[in-house]
Amino acid sequence: MNTMSDSWGLAWQLILHADAELLRIASLSLQVSASACVVGALLGLLLGAWLAVAEFPGHSIAVWLVNTLLALPAVVVGLLVYLLLSRSGPLGELGILFTPSAMVVAQSVLVTPLIAALSRRLVLAALAEGGDQFRSLGARPLTVALLMLVHERMGVATVLLTAFARAIAEVGAVMIVGGNIAGVTRVMTTTIALETSKGDLALALALGFVLLAVVGVVNGAMGVLHRLGSRVQHPVQPVSAAVPTPATTPPAAVTVDTGPLAILDKATVRLGAVTALRDVSLTLRRGDRLVLVGANGSGKTTLLKLLHGLVPHTGRCDFLPLQPEGRPPRLAMVFQQTFLLNLSVGRNLRIGLWLAGVPAAQRAERCRQALARVGLLGHIARPARTLSGGQQQRLGIARAWSQQPDLLLLDEPTASLDPSAKHEVENLIEEIGASGITIVASTHNLGQAKRLATRVAYLQSGELIAVRPVEQFFQGEPLPEKAEQFLKGELGWR
The fold adopted by the segment(s) 3-233 is: MetI-like fold (1.10.3720)
User: 127-141, 166-180, 215-229, 324-338 — which is least confidently predicted?
Assistant: 215-229
**Averaged pLDDT for residues 74-89:** 95
The DSSP H or E segment spanning 104 is helix 100-136
pLDDT confidence tier of residue 249, bands split at 50, 70 and 90: very low
pLDDT confidence tier of residue 210, bands split at 50, 70 and 90: confident
Angle separating helix axes 360-373 and 345-355, nearest 10 degrees: 130
Q: What is the pLDDT of residue 494?
A: 45
Instruction: Please name every residue paired with 460 in a beta bridge, in sequence order, or none if there are none.
Output: 463
User: 20-24, 188-192, 470-474 — which is least confidently predicted?
Assistant: 20-24
pLDDT at 251 over 70: no
Q: What is the pLDDT of residue 208?
A: 81
* Rounded-to-integer distance, Cα 191 and Cα 22, Å: 10
**Averaged pLDDT for residues 214-221:** 86
- What percent of the chain has pLDDT above 90? 72
The overall average pLDDT reported for the chain is 89
Q: What is the pLDDT of residue 256?
A: 56
Q: What is the pLDDT of residue 32?
A: 97
* Rounded-to-integer distance, Cα 429 and Cα 441, Å: 10
Q: What is the pLDDT of residue 370?
A: 95
Angle separating helix axes 74-85 and 100-136, nearest 10 degrees: 110
pLDDT at 257 over 80: no
Q: What is the pLDDT of residue 245?
A: 44
Instruction: Please name every residue paired with 409 in a beta bridge, in sequence order, or none if there are none.
Output: 333, 440
Q: What is the pLDDT of residue 22?
A: 85
Number of Cβ atoms within 10 Å of the Cβ of 145? 28
Region(s) of the chain under CATH 1.10.3720.10: 3-233
* Rounded-to-integer distance, Cα 113 and Cα 19, Å: 36
Contact call for residues 292 and 443 (beta carbons, < 8 A): yes
Higher pLDDT, 240 or 466: 466
Region(s) of the chain under CATH 3.40.50.300: 260-490
Q: What is the pLDDT of residue 39?
A: 98
**Averaged pLDDT for residues 196-208:** 83
**Averaged pLDDT for residues 162-187:** 94
pLDDT confidence tier of residue 19, bands split at 50, 70 and 90: confident
User: 139-148, 208-217, 219-228, 392-401 — which is least confidently predicted?
Assistant: 219-228
DSSP 8-state secondary structure symbol assigned to residue 255: P
Nearest CA to 348 among 380, 386, 391, 390? 380
- CATH 3.20.20.140, applies to 260-490: no
* Rounded-to-integer distance, Cα 352 and Cα 144, Å: 11
pLDDT at 493 over 50: no
CA dist list (Å): 31 to 27, 204, 450: 6, 21, 66
pLDDT at 291 over 80: yes
Higher pLDDT, 266 or 235: 266
**Averaged pLDDT for residues 14-43:** 90
pLDDT confidence tier of residue 199, bands split at 50, 70 and 90: confident
Q: Given the DSSP bridges, would you call strands 314-319 and 455-460 parallel, antiparallel or unpaired?
A: unpaired
pTM: 0.85
